[in-house]
Amino acid sequence: MRFLLDECISARLVALLADAGHDVAHVSERGLGGHVDEEVLDAARAEERVLVSADTDFGELLARQGAALPSLVLFRQGNRGPEHHAATLLGNLEYIAEDLDAGAIVVFTNDNIRIRSLPVGN
């Protein structure tokens, strides 16, 4: 799977996901550090990548835009490190991959996984 990691996600997650066979980039590698959320979302869409973030603003942007892509993975698990994020994402990827391919917002919390199909409202 192809991922773009937002600046609020540790760049150390790049190697952890890449070692598992995924194509991963961090916004800092794309010169998008400090850019507005719309530009980051547009980059993920243009590169056909799943955006990975902890920033709920991306979900609101996708809903407002009525967008079907890019898919979004949100970590809402408190202050966890890249190893925990990698284990969470990789450990659940087989269950959410089809949703991410079709267009979805996947939210990982401490207690569960929520999946909302894109575009929001359909």
**Segment 45-68, tens digit of pLDDT:** 999 999 999 999 999 999 999 999
Q: C-alpha angle 19/25/29, rounded to 5°? A: 125
- pTM of this structure: 0.96
In angstroms, the Cα distances linking 38 to 1, 31, 91, 97, 122 are: 22, 14, 29, 24, 22
pLDDT in tens, 18-35: 999 999 999 999 999 889
Positive or negative: CA dihedral 95, 96, 97, 98: positive
